[in-house]
Amino acid sequence: MDLARETSDTGRFVRQPNRFTTRIEEGGEHPPEPGRYRIYASYACPWAHRSLIVRELLGLQDVVGVTIVDPIRDERGWRIPGGDPVTGAEFLSELYLATDPGFEGRYTVPCVWDAKTGVLVTNDYPQITLTLETAFAPWHAEGAPDLYPVALRAEIDELNDRIFHGLNNGVYRAGFATSQEAYEEAVTDVFDTLGALERRLADRPYLHGDALTESDVRLYPTLARFDAVYHSHFKCSVRRLTDHPALWAYARRLYAIPAFRDTTDFDHIKRHYFVTQRNINPTGIVPRGPEIDWTAP
């Protein structure tokens, strides 16, 4: 990551905006169709992890393709092991530059390629899961959960915003802060948000009650990475996930669901953060542990 490009004068991390934000929708230039689109994702990236979880939960494996990139990213960006079976690209950057030859910035996952038009449609990660949940509804598997029910959308959107600013992006704001003031501000937000979520989950199995929603999908990837990476690597060391009884029980409840468990690769996660982010971990040494039993009842 080019830290200087995403750091303010006050030492605060400022996330790069998404370059491609076209919607996949009926009546648009890119309508939803089985077999037309492919998600490029990393098991290491929390934003991409969401897309993988939703694709599995909704049974869209035969409708929307996926290519998994190597967890170690260098100056060329994400490498596609063995080359991409659809485009032949060896690096994700090739798809970005094929769509926008003048693109400058990080080549981010997740992103979605339209095989019919030969362009990247979107790398707008918040919208990708919503698109799978809404535009691709005709192809959802029988019995698939309604992750974005109309009656709850306003409440889901409000909580998602809190989770993003305080936790999903909050850990990055703490980890990439280059001033004490910026770090203190961010780490306070992280643990205030964790505290609020701990209280919320004290009397319910999921964030909005008895059923899974988009909010659970957005929270889980950060929780899955918290003790393994964010607690040490990003200096979010006030408390561990396992020090929050309700959140830890909730995280294991989600991990027991195949769509969450099968897309959680702790090896990819640890190697990506500790090897790739040399500005934080100059030696590139991947630490052992922590010894946590995600399958404990």
**Pair 35, 61: CB distance under 8 Å:** no
**Pair 18, 123: CB distance under 8 Å:** yes
To the query of whether residue 96 is one of the catalytic residues in this protein, the response is no
Instruction: Give the contacts of 233 (CB within 8 A, at least 6 positions apart).
Output: 175, 273, 274, 277, 280, 281
Q: How distant, in Å, are the alpha carbons of 32, 49, 97, 228, 229 from that of 259?
A: 22, 10, 32, 20, 21
Active-site hit among 172, 183, 220, 250:
172
Burial class (CB in 10 A: 0-12, 13-18, 19+), 143: exposed
Active-site hit among 37, 45, 111, 220:
45
Phi, psi of 248 (to 5 degrees): -70, -40
To the query of whether residue 220 is one of the catalytic residues in this protein, the response is no
Distance of CA 31 to the CA centre of its chain: 24
Distance of CA 177 to the CA centre of its chain: 20
- Active site members: 45, 172
